[in-house]
Amino acid sequence: MPDIGYSTSVEYRESSIENMQCQVCNKNDATIHLTEITDGVRAEMHICEHCAQEEGIAVKSQIPLNELLSSLLAVQPTDEDLFGPAEKGTSTSCPRCGFTLDQFRKEAVLGCPYDYEVFEKPLRRLIKKAHNGKTTHCGKVPSRTSESEKEQIKLITLRQRLEEAVRTEDYEQAAKLRDKIKRYEIKKYEADRSK
């Protein structure tokens, strides 16, 4: 086993690959195949069930399907975890397409773009849960976006960060962001004037 601090990934798979001998005893067929990746270096070990037990490797031949399914379902969040408590007797539906939150819970798709507004609260909870508390997109800008659009996006992002810094009373950060925004605006003004 590698020392603590090393990046290690161990893959365990059990199969009945024929004609592969155990690398420990060199007698029995290898039925357990271990793959260990340590710092990017892959090492494989093929051993028989007897040697695996002697090495202290836990072997469980087959997991019953119902046990596997119940263990997977046990870790799944409930509808209430994802969407919040269901309101008794009320079923909100979209006035444009008639889609309901119950349909979304079953189908995991929305009926029309207006549904995002109608079901904003439960969708926001769901998105927050799925993205570790974040509800705004902070991904990459498409490569074909023009430079002026990229600058505009940077400016909008800086303004949002400034608002957040003021809201959390981080005035030192707010001052830095304010100055950065001014520099961007001056740069944009000078670029527009030179055209």
Per-residue burial over 81-99, b = 16 or more CB atoms within 10 Å of its CB, e = otherwise: eebeeeeeeeeebbeeeeb
For 21, the token pair is: 């001998």
Looking at residue 166, its pLDDT comes to 93
Looking at residue 14, its pLDDT comes to 45
Query: pLDDT tens, 138-184?
Result: 666 677 778 778 888 888 888 999 998 999 999 999 999 999 999 88
50: Cα within 13 Å, side-chain hemisphere: 9
- Whether the model pTM is above 0.85: no
Instruction: Return the CA Rg of the chain.
Output: 28
Q: Which positions of the chain have pLDDT values less than 70?
A: 1-18, 58-91, 135-141, 195
**The residue type at 125:** R
Looking at residue 49, its pLDDT comes to 83
